[in-house]
Chain A
Amino acid sequence: MNQWQGVLLSLVGIIATVWLGITGQLGLYIHPRYFVFTIIMAVIAAVLVVVAFAVVPRPSDEEALLDTGGRRGRWLWSAGSVLIIVAAVVALLVLPPSTLTSATVKQRDLNGSASTLTQAEASGLVGGDYAAFTVRDWSSLLRQGAGEDFFADKTATVTGFVTPDKSDPENVFFVARFFVSCCAVDAQPIGIPVYYPGWQDEFKTDSWVTITSGFKMNPSAISDEQIVLVPDTITPTERPSEPYVY
């Protein structure tokens, strides 16, 4: 059992990786620049696993004993091994893949940390093709402090998930995305504030929406946000196949 623990865990990891790759969901966990490398290594490892099944001899009892530090430790050790394998199978092969939720937004300070663009890049955005701007572009401009005048005649069309504003959750929510530089672990939430009183009645937190709207001064007196989207209508939408931005 112990000898095969690594091979079994490899198999679980390989199958999960390849399946995510085939179904186009690797992007839920890692940055696209790793897709090719990850799949190639998974395939090579799969070959090694099959070879190992064919040629690795049964361990002699001496090796098995050394492995576990004696017979008494063996029981406990095996229980631990089984537990890890079961947990891996459940997490990687049984549970449906999923994006991060607003629970993580709360932990990670929406926009507080991630402008995700340097000042230079953000000023490069000014005068760009505003129709193609993403949540990331707009949130960078907002954070950079471009004034009310700048936003007055602009219209944003953005897609993201709904997450409540901390200072005025009744009237304001954010249309948000996670910005990922390596994998979901480093994901940082970014978002654009939206003034839409009673939004909770229409949209669930974490549901995906598309909004087309102009920017206005925030009508909410208690919200910390100054400039917000004030849309007439909000269209519910499916989670995009690439939920994170890079």
Chain B
Amino acid sequence: MTPGRRRKLTYDVHMSQTLTVRRGPALRLTLGLTILAALILTRIVSPPTGEAGMADAVRDFVTLSISVVIESLPFVFLGIMLSIVVQVWLPEGYLLRRLPRNPLARRVVLSLLGMLLPVCECGNVPLARGLMARGLTVAESMTFLFAAPILNPVTIITTYQAFGWDDGILLSRILGGFLIANLVGWIYSRHPRPESLLTPRFQDTCALGDHHGQPTGKMRRSAVLFTQETSAMLPALFVGAGIAGLIQVGVSREVLVAMGGNPVWSVLALMVLAFVIAICSNVDAFFILSFGGTFMPGAIVAFLVFGPMIDVKMLALLRTTFTAKTLLQVTLVIGLCSATLGLAVNFLV
């Protein structure tokens, strides 16, 4: 922000403080409940069944997008609630103080944090934002974000149920996810100006959270954080769901599946599939298993490692926090690493 704008801004704040007439809580609550009632009424009077005169492809686009929203929303809420707990209810530094001092060991511990917080990857984004607002570095938060969905008890159990110890799929997934997340963390820990990796909007949120305009009372601060975080995450989730739905309708899965038998192409095809399908890491093992024996093990590993870290929905959610350039770099690094891992499994195991 330029100094000029900062001055103007301060001026505006002074003006607004004298001009704004604060509305009472009772009025706001009434207004809120009225909106609630109006939305419920909309659902009740709208047709419960029928085709609404849409072409099949359009209907499926809507169904698929809704499905992403309904599936992810509870996890995003859970992530936001955990983020509120970390920022408001836990004593300052409760988590961060317990982390090792050495940066490398710190990132290793953070990448295992997912073991304690079995949240789906979309819930990790608000949590990582909360941790960053509390002092976690950008590189450390990235390590957490990319490791947690894989190094997560639910994910490990479902992967084991799906594949057992076959072809080293389970081990490659766990070790690969751990190494790639820590590699990304290490790369960005060497960045000279890590704050430039973040969107200006999120930088401001962090700055504001520190000292300015903090309402008093934990309940009130929680409510403010809830409105802030939902305002950041939900538009991204809804747009991400729309894009995911659109790609699903547009891209034929048959083409991807057809490449399944080739040791090189199958790896790339399944990474593309992981990218467009945007499925939760908790169940992606079952999903890919249901394709039966059509895919090489390395391709499955690439799917299981790349998908939880990067997909359309995750990129939309991450964009609330990181700049587009950063996300492009991260996608390239993780993509190359996953592809290498997949090819190695195909040719070595």
Contacts from A to B (Cβ < 8 Å): 2-13, 15-17, 19-20, 23, 26, 28-31, 34, 37-38, 40-42, 44-45, 48-58, 60-63, 65-67, 69-70, 80-81, 84, 87-89, 91-104, 107-109, 112-116, 118, 143, 179, 181-186, 188, 206
Find residues 73-96 in chain B having any chain A CB closer than 8 Å to their own CB: 73-75, 77-78, 81
Interface string of B275-294 (1 = CB under 8 A from A): 00111101110110111101
A81 to B287, alpha carbons, bound, how many Å? 34
Asked if A13 contacts B69 (CB within 8 A), the reply is: yes
A93 to B44, alpha carbons, bound, how many Å? 8
Contact status of A91 and B290, CB under 8 A, knowing A100-B60, A109-B257:
no
Least distance between A181 CB and chain B CB atoms (Å): 4
Asked if A70 contacts B5 (CB within 8 A), the reply is: yes
B234, CB-defined interface residue at 8 Å? yes
Least distance between A73 CB and chain B CB atoms (Å): 11
Residues in B neighbouring A40, C-beta threshold 8 A: 74
Least distance between B235 CB and chain A CB atoms (Å): 5
Asked if B32 contacts A53 (CB within 8 A), the reply is: yes
A93 to B47, alpha carbons, bound, how many Å? 10
- Residue from A6, A92, A182 in contact with B227 in the complex, judged by beta carbons closer than 8 Å: A6
25 sample A-B contacts, Cβ–Cβ < 8 Å, listed by A number: A3-B228, A13-B70, A15-B43, A17-B74, A29-B66, A34-B74, A38-B70, A38-B73, A52-B32, A52-B223, A55-B223, A58-B23, A62-B9, A66-B201, A70-B5, A93-B39, A96-B50, A97-B66, A101-B59, A101-B60, A104-B64, A181-B287, A182-B279, A185-B71, A186-B287
Give chain A's interface secondary structure class.
Answer: helix
Residues in B neighbouring A48, C-beta threshold 8 A: 81, 222-223, 226
Asked if A42 contacts B56 (CB within 8 A), the reply is: no
Contacts from B to A (Cβ < 8 Å): 5, 9-10, 12-13, 15-17, 20, 22-23, 25, 28-29, 31-33, 35-36, 39-40, 42-44, 46-52, 55-57, 59-60, 62-71, 73-75, 77-78, 81, 200-201, 204, 208, 213, 215, 219-220, 222-224, 226-235, 238-239, 242, 244-245, 248-249, 251-254, 257, 277-280, 282-284, 286-287, 289-292, 294
- Residue from B12, B47, B223 in contact with A51 in the complex, judged by beta carbons closer than 8 Å: B223
Nearest residue, chain B, Cβ from A81 = B235
Give chain B's interface secondary structure class.
Answer: helix
Asked if A55 contacts B220 (CB within 8 A), the reply is: yes
Residues in A neighbouring B229, C-beta threshold 8 A: 6
Asked if B231 contacts A50 (CB within 8 A), the reply is: no
Residues in B neighbouring A185, C-beta threshold 8 A: 64, 67-68, 71, 244-245, 248, 277-279
Asked if A113 contacts B257 (CB within 8 A), the reply is: yes
Asked if B63 contacts A7 (CB within 8 A), the reply is: no
Residues in A neighbouring B201, C-beta threshold 8 A: 66-67, 69
Residues in B neighbouring A49, C-beta threshold 8 A: 32, 36, 226
Asked if A7 contacts B238 (CB within 8 A), the reply is: no
Residues in A neighbouring B73, C-beta threshold 8 A: 13, 17, 38, 41-42
